[in-house]
Homo-oligomer: A and B are copies of this chain.
Amino acid sequence: MLSLASDYQEGAHPAIMERLVSTNLLRTPGYGTDEFCESAREKIRAACGCPGAAVWFLSGGTQTNAVVTGALLQPWQGVIAADTGHISAHEAGAIEFTGHKVLAIPHYAGKLRAEDVRRFCETFFADENWDHMVAPGMVYISQPTEYGTLYSLSELTELSRVCRDFGLLLYADGARLAYALACPENDVSLPDLARLCDAFYIGGTKCGALFGEAVVMRDPKLMPRFFTIMKQRGALLAKGRIPGLMFDTLFTDGLYLSLGRSAVDIADRMRAVLEDAGCAPALDGFDSPTNQVFAIFSDGQLEYLKNRVGYSFWERRGNRTVVRFAASWATTEDNLREFTEIIGGMPR
């Protein structure tokens, strides 16, 4: 059965596997102090145009979001996020477990609007009782968003400006960043992210690594003693070299920047197939331009698809269901062909 349920179904990009094997019996010191990590850090700093940045490797997205948020916020602060943001909805309360509130505001195509953040802050500080309330300390966005949409450079610039006006830190979750960077309509580069955000992470798990996310922080002083905090939160790997080597490989010869191209291209063609079948666009007035593909099906159609192609449940809408397919660096032309055939044979 064809599975397009997610972008974390396979192992790692073959270039990574080869290098893991060829270096397997080398001995390196632990906890990210090895040469692979150091090399990866240098390459990431270069790719981000940010030679002074701190770069840290963690294991997964929820872990990274929780550890970074917990390290950046003061005890009396919360983090502003879209109500559809991953930290708002799908991390089982990981942020709250660190003692902080997620201040959810309505999304617009999965994104926060700078003006909404500005209004939130203005209202907050105009409230005479604000010292009885959770102060906004940080803004969380994701690029691309949970809906696969992208912040434009001008949107990100405006959001960054609002954050600086109100003394908020700006943090971007880049779980699928490779698919943003590879998208033709994207105009936000790694150096833009490094310049406009206070911290962001470059996703590995969904972008070619076995696991791992690389946090980039322009000003290392924002997270003092982060090594110890990682240890305390269970996020410090003994064999830190493994994510180090994986990111070193991803940032060699531009692999990370190119990795998502075929996925975005295949996703575009999947969207066209679905639109022909009358099952897309499935979202409210916008669509994903990246590797995530949304479609809406009747119960009969889902019944047909069930044993033919793997998908992710998104939400129930009336008597129909929105589902998500995902293309990845590992999705093939054959997969697309099979998908096209399956959708072509689906009952209308």
Contact = CB atoms under 8 A, between A and B. Distances in A.
Contact of A29 (B5, B224, B237): B5
A149 B117 CA distance: 31
Q: How large is the interface on A (under 10, 10 to 19, 20 to 34, 35 or more residues)?
A: 35 or more
Given A27-B10, A234-B62, A236-B62, A134 B96 contact: yes
A127 B20 CA distance: 32
Given A8-B239, A9-B30, A94 B231 contact: yes
Interface in A326-342: 330
Given A71-B75, A242-B211, A235 B20 contact: no
A74 interface: yes
Contacts of A330: 25
Contacts of A70: 75
Given A17-B21, A76-B229, A128 B10 contact: no
A290 interface: no
Nearest to A94: B232
A243 to B, nearest CB: 9
B24 A14 contact: yes
Contacts of A94: 231-234
A90 B129 contact: yes
Contact of A60 (B61, B229, B237): B237
A132 to B, nearest CB: 5
Interface in A64-112: 64, 66-67, 70-71, 74-76, 78, 89-94, 96-97, 99-102, 104
Contact of A20 (B11, B71, B90, B123): B11
Counted per complex, copies of this chain come to 4
Interface string A305-317: 0000010110110
A66 B239 contact: no
A131 interface: yes
Interface of A: 3, 5-6, 8-12, 14, 17, 20-21, 23-30, 59-64, 66-67, 70-71, 74-76, 78, 89-94, 96-97, 99-102, 104, 123, 126-129, 131-135, 205-206, 210-211, 224-225, 227-229, 231-239, 242, 310, 312-313, 315-316, 330
26 contacts: A11-B20, A11-B23, A25-B330, A27-B310, A29-B310, A61-B238, A66-B234, A74-B225, A75-B97, A76-B225, A76-B228, A92-B133, A92-B232, A94-B233, A96-B99, A96-B100, A96-B134, A97-B233, A104-B104, A131-B228, A131-B231, A210-B239, A210-B242, A211-B242, A233-B234, A234-B235
